[in-house]
Structure 1
Amino acid sequence: MAQAIVYSSTNCSFCKQLKTYLTEQNIAFEERNIDEKEEFAQELNRLGVMSVPLTVIGEKQILGFNPTRIKKALAALEETAQ
């Protein structure tokens, strides 16, 4: 099961860095590329965000490539699961 949802676009360098980081850290994620599916772009818009990458972990939204916030959000998610 994915721990995170990553909204990305095809030519986004920060998106590539984020996906590489998540993969290296063995963090399961579902990628939602807004260039490939209009539905994903609409979801991003409903979240009130107009840029990528956006990582959603539980109720937390993390804009950009921010490993520190990602680790904190994952830790908080694990605490609530216990």
Structure 2
Amino acid sequence: MKQTVIYTKNMCPQCRATKRWLKEHKIGYQEINTTDNQTAVNHLKKIGVERLPFVITDKGNLTGFKPQLLEKLV
């Protein structure tokens, strides 16, 4: 299984909630904070992502904090 990746930014309540949910469910993840990372921002724009958090798993991707969908993807 590929590691879960989550794109976040500072001061984002949905980002914090998503990370908390992943930790509570003992799901490891790599966080990429976009606050001071223009390369990450450009990458997300290139692939059409407009909202954070953006979660990537081997079963699919999602934006925002959606626990029901997270449960199906991890």
What range is the shorter-chain TM-score in?
A: 0.7 to 0.9
Gaps of at least 5 residues in structure 1 are: 75-82
Using the aligned pairs only, state the percent identity.
26
Structure 2 unaligned runs (5+)? none
Superposed structure 1 runs of 4+ greater than 6 Å apart: none
Which residue number in structure 1 is paired with residue 54 of structure 2? Answer: 54
Q: State the SS of the aligned residue for 1:55.
A: strand
Q: After TM superposition, give the deviation of residue 46 of structure 1 in Å.
A: 2.0
Structure possessing the higher radius of gyration over alpha carbons: 1
If asked which structure has higher relative contact order (CA below 8 Å, sep 6+), I would say: 2
Greater helix percent: which structure? 1
Count of equivalent residues: 74
TM-score, structure 1 length as denominator? 0.80
**SS of aligned partner of 2:61:** strand
User: Quick one: which amino acid aligns to residue 6 of structure 2?
Assistant: V
Q: CA deviation at 1:36?
A: 2.6
**RMSD between aligned residues:** 1.7
TM-score, normalised relative to structure 2? 0.87
